[in-house]
């Protein structure tokens, strides 16, 4: 049976990561793999309801963090783990690294408490219930906060996170950098301050390097 793959896309708002998920899904489809595209917060009816609360309702950092992990647990149990068990490729727009970046870095929430919540929410699932489930690869679309802010200003009406000041996104970017340093080879940094085709090529090359796509796909 084909082993499932769990790949996450991370980066501050405006980094452009979401626009590349479908391209990677197509690349896997061309290689004969079934790819499931999903997102966090969200991915299930319950988690999507929690997403609306998180994006639009005022709350403190602890409430925000608890809702994020509640949505994640349901997402894992209902969607991600079953897809991995079927041997599919799961491509998720944000996962726990975003919680460390936004709630830990941006909001200043305690890093150790986040680690405890991570362990609780991501353990007891799937074929290896004693192990904490993590992505095999995290594609980190790294972009200077100042440039991300300019991109957001020209886009849609901002939600509660997108409307935060530049200082918030600077802390979020620092949170991502800290998380990348702690995660080691699971993180692959993508230079998002480049033309779209170059960003896509970086992404495909990182996946091909791990043997999950044909090498020629990385050069497309």
Gap between the Cα atoms of 62 and 53, Å rounded: 14
Residue 14 labeled ligand binder: yes
Q: In the prediction, which pLDDT does 156 show? A: 63
Q: How far is CA 115 from CA 51, 119, 215, in A?
A: 21, 6, 36
pLDDT at residue 128 tops 80: no
Residue 18 labeled ligand binder: yes
Angle between helices 61-75 and 111-121 (to 10 degrees): 20
Q: The tokens of 197 are what?
A: 């085709």
Residue with more model confidence, 147 or 202: 202
Gap between the Cα atoms of 5 and 155, Å rounded: 32
pLDDT at residue 159 tops 80: yes
Q: In the prediction, which pLDDT does 219 show? A: 38
Q: How far is CA 67 from CA 48, 81, 123, 185, 219, in A?
A: 11, 20, 17, 29, 40
pLDDT band of residue 215 (cuts 50, 70, 90) is confident
Assigned CATH class of 5-210: alpha beta
Residue 11 labeled ligand binder: yes
Q: In the prediction, which pLDDT does 142 show? A: 96
Residue 159 labeled ligand binder: no
**Is the alpha carbon torsion for 97, 198, 18, 31 positive or negative?**
negative
Residue 19 labeled ligand binder: no
Q: The tokens of 190 are what?
A: 């993508």
Residue 21 labeled ligand binder: no
Residue 15 labeled ligand binder: yes
List pLDDT tens digits, range 163-173. Answer: 888 999 999 99
Q: The tokens of 184 are what?
A: 């080691």
Q: In the prediction, which pLDDT does 5 show? A: 98
Beta carbons within 10 angstroms of residue 4's beta carbon: 22
């Amino acid at each position: 049976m084909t082993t499932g793959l769990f790949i996450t896309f991370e980066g501050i708002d405006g980094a452009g990561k979401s626009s590349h998920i479908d391209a990677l899904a197509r690349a896997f489809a061309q290689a004969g793999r079934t790819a499931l595209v999903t997102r966090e917060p969200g991915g299930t009816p319950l988690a999507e309801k929690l997403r609306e609360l998180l994006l639009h309702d005022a709350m403190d950092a602890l409430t925000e963090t608890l809702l994020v992990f509640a949505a994640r647990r349901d997402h894992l149990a209902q969607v991600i783990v079953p897809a991995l068990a079927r041997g599919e490729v799961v491509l998720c727009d944000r996962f726990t690294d975003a919680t460390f970046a936004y709630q830990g870095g941006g909001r200043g929430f305690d890093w150790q408490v986040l680690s405890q919540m991570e362990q609780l929410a991501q353990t007891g699932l799937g074929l290896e219930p004693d192990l904490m489930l993590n992505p095999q690869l995290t594609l980190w679309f790294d972009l200077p906060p100042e440039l991300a802010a300019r991109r957001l200003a020209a886009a849609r009406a901002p939600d509660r996170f997108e409307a935060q000041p530049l200082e918030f996104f600077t802390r979020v970017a620092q949170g991502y950098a800290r998380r990348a340093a702690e995660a080691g080879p699971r993180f692959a940094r993508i230079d998002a301050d480049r033309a779209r085709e170059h960003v896509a090529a970086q992404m495909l090359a990182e996946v091909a390097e791990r043997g999950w796509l044909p090498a020629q796909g990385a050069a497309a």
